[in-house]
Each structure stands twice: as C-alpha cells, then as structure tokens.
Structure 1
Amino acid sequence: MHIIKDENGNVCPHGHEHSHEHGHAHTHDGVCQEGCSGCEPHDPKKENIALLTYMLQHNEHHAAELDQMADKLRKAGMDTAAEQIRKAVDEFQKGNLYLSVALATVKEN
C-alpha cells in the first residue's frame, strides 16, 4: 500500500486497493483514516489536494518507468515497441500537465 500525504507532508492512508504488474498495491479513495494527524476527514479540499498530489507523483513515477523500458527495448532492437511506449509517455506527460493545473486550481480555491 502506498501512503499519500497532505500539503503539509503529513501521512494519510486511504482506502480501496488494486495492484499493478510491477507488484505493488495501493489505494485511491482519498479518505483519510483515523490516526491521520495532518488532514481532517471533514475537509474535502485537503483530501482533494492530498489525493491529486499523490496521483500526480504516482503518474510521474510510472512515466519514468515506461521511459526506461523504452530505452531497454530500443537497445534490444525493438524500435517499434519502444516508439509506442515513447508515445504513451508523451500522453502521460500531457495528462500530468492537466493534473498539475487541476491541483493548482484546487489549492487556489
């Protein structure tokens, strides 16, 4: 399970689990559980900021992993597959830009 943090860096675990091919599981409902000292369950803005921050960082991590995979495939002579992954990484980066704008907007309001 991954842990999200609020805008002050306080740890906030959150709820439903799923896993990825590379073997880690994490959760995504954004609701802070009991014992989370940094965020209050009654503050949706803080919950949204924490979840958006986590998701943006998580997506950036996956984009970097995919970029490394594309390098390995290119070195192995699999240029077509590497190119498709590079295109996917470009789309991840576009999505991350939109998430960054959304996060900034939530923080401003």
Structure 2
Amino acid sequence: MSPLVRVGTETGLKLIRSGILLLYALLLAFTLSKSLPLTCSVRFYVSSQFQQRVMEFVEQNHNNEIKIFMAKYYCVHLHSLFGALLAAGLVVARGELQS
C-alpha cells in the first residue's frame, strides 16, 4: 500500500497540498531573506507547472485507491526536479559571483 492509502486518501490529499505549499512558501522566504540567490527561485518557478499537475492529480484521484498509487511517483519526480533546479540555480549564482 502506498503512503497515501495508509494515512487515508483524504488526509494524504491535505498532506500533499500542505507540503507543496510549504515548500514554495519556504522558497519565497529564503529568497526574500537573501539566504538563497535569486537564480534559485527563478528556476524553482519552472517546476510550478509540474507541481500544479501533481496537486490536480491527487485532488482528482484521491478516492481511487488504484490510481492514487501513481501519486508517489509524481511526488518523487517533483522532488527530483526541485532539487535539480536548486542545484542549477546555485551553480549559476556561483558562476555569476566568480565573474
């Protein structure tokens, strides 16, 4: 059973929605406090389209225990994309500082 099914699909929907919103809120907070360079947050918003698809998929399928199984793969892809964009943003920012 997937983690969403274990906690209950309605609770899982709320957890995913809250987690994604918290992720982007932290990104905004770290950017405004200048803890992260602006290049990171610009790249993060590229992933916002995929984030929207993940949330829509979970909202539409949270009652279907067979389809909701795929949500964990979408969340892993979002996590990987987010991490790759963070790394790319930091590399670009470092290159700008050295120039």
TM-score range, shorter chain: 0.3 to 0.5
Higher strand share: 1
Higher helix share: 2
Query: TM-score, normalized by length of structure 2?
Result: 0.46
- The structure with the larger Rg is 1
Query: TM-score, normalized by length of structure 1?
Result: 0.43
